[in-house]
Structure 1
């Protein structure tokens, strides 16, 4: 019997993770009577509408290449992105409207970024996630504010908080997403 190479094992693990994520999110929708968590209906191309958000609003897009993490560890980086419509804001109340323009669930975490650290350089654990210690907030609920199980495709989530001056890293911490390129930096002046 032939054994899988290291790259083959990574590929098989990535496929299994994607399949289990899709299966879990489908189960959540069906258990909610066809509605996403929060009671909103989220069919394939429909978008939910966020309430009027306070302070400076930053539009964040979470994108992926159809879950295209199938090229092993070297091909994964860059297959997903988290982009914000601005890199700098003034201190104070800031709202993040996170829209999932991809094909699989995503989230957005906010963590201070110490000098001289660079966004995208945090160590990734064996579980495909980074340490969330020091997290200020997350937008991970479909069609709702705050924490949740992930923002479903074609939907949005949001969070509002008071940010003091500093550098922050915005990232998706679902397994494998940070390593695939889902991070960006925000500077608050």
Structure 2
């Protein structure tokens, strides 16, 4: 009976370690199969595009998109396991009117920023995803997804910037990277617009 009491805590610790190893192995497998990857056009990869945004109108929100890179582990806990990717906006609150998003990609993968109204009662990161780990973009107000340019494109490559200018009414908005699997990997944040 005494041996069974000593074995109890070790069984719990062994189970926890096994769960951790399984989680890490699953994330590595997904990263290895390019589940979180979106390829940039070959011309952009060859350039290693680096650029700066021009002077932008209205209030400027600096958005940083990043990832852990291929094959790297770590991050902070998120709603879907280990957050391998991040999207951060500063400031997180602006006044209604003309707002420009200046997006810099500090990660290794291609990213984008789509602006979606955030429904009442819903928090950032709570949108349902469909096939490919993407959210529904219906109602999008615009996006920054062009390397070294404004508006829509094929994504912002590593080390580059993209930007967009919108007129926003008071409310809550969610900034998301909607490339396959990126939202589930933690690429979302809330932008609040006050009167």
Provide TM-score, normalisation by structure 1. Answer: 0.79
- Alignment check: 8 A CA contact 2:65 2:103 kept: yes
How far, CA to CA, are the matches of 1:19 and 1:180 in structure 2?
Answer: 8
How far, CA to CA, are the matches of 1:97 and 1:26 in structure 2?
Answer: 22
The 1:178–1:77 alpha-carbon spacing in structure 2 relative to 1, beyond 3 Å, is: farther
How far, CA to CA, are the matches of 1:19 and 1:113 in structure 2?
Answer: 24
Paired position in structure 2 for 1:152? 157
- Alignment check: 8 A CA contact 2:36 2:181 kept: no
What is the CA-CA distance between 1:28 and the residue it aligns to?
Answer: 3.7
What is the CA-CA distance between 1:68 and the residue it aligns to?
Answer: 5.1
SS in 2 for 1:29: helix
Q: Which runs of 5+ in 1 are unaligned?
A: 36-40
Larger radius of gyration: 2
SS in 1 for 2:119: coil
Aligned match of 1:131 in 107, 128, 136? 136
Matched, 1:97 2:102: yes
Structure with the higher fraction of residues in helix conformation: 2
The 1:25–1:167 alpha-carbon spacing in structure 2 relative to 1, beyond 3 Å, is: same
Paired position in structure 2 for 1:52? 55
Q: Which runs of 5+ in 2 are unaligned?
A: 1-21
- Alignment check: 8 A CA contact 1:58 1:84 kept: yes
Matched, 1:161 2:171: no
